[in-house]
Amino acid sequence: MSQCDAVVVEVTEREVLVEVSARASACGSCKSEDACQNSLLGLGTGPRRYRLDKTFPLRIGDRVSLDVAEGSVLRASVASYVIPLLLAIGGAAAGQAAGGEAWSVAGTLGGLACGVAWLRARELKARRDGQLYSLQLTTKEIRFREPS
């Protein structure tokens, strides 16, 4: 299960908005504390916010742990890249068979549009499905030094 720390920045009756800090420590191959510069042109360096269902009472400023279900990141990556690519290739092939280059371009764009619509529908379904993620309230652990 993937886990990251977040801070509650907004609370409504049914939802909370949590913010994950800008620090990206995914690969661990460098000592960069600010953000990973290997991301797409270094553009993904800002904090990320997620709107989640409110499962227990929270206040603004509470520190929480955001847990993502095992395998969901891999499945999302495959769905985001492979499915639209296959639909674009299929649309291009169908367009080429139907009438040439102009139809091939139209088929490619149509396949990509279908892929984006499919991804959006899956995103909306995933937001309603509470099994992909969980929100845990982090507790402060206090340790006392043992007498020597």
Domain ranges across the chain? 1-67, 69-132
* pLDDT for 41: 42
Q: Is 125 left (phi over 0), alpha (psi -120 to 50) or beta?
A: alpha
Average pLDDT over residues 76-102: 91
Cross-strand partners of 6? 20, 64
* pLDDT for 144: 55
* pLDDT for 87: 94
**Both tokens assigned to 101:** 């280059």
pLDDT digits (tens, 9 = 90+) for 118-145: 998 887 787 676 555 666 666 554 455 6
pTM of the model: 0.54
pLDDT digits (tens, 9 = 90+) for 23-79: 554 555 555 544 454 444 444 567 788 777 777 788 888 888 877 777 777 888 888
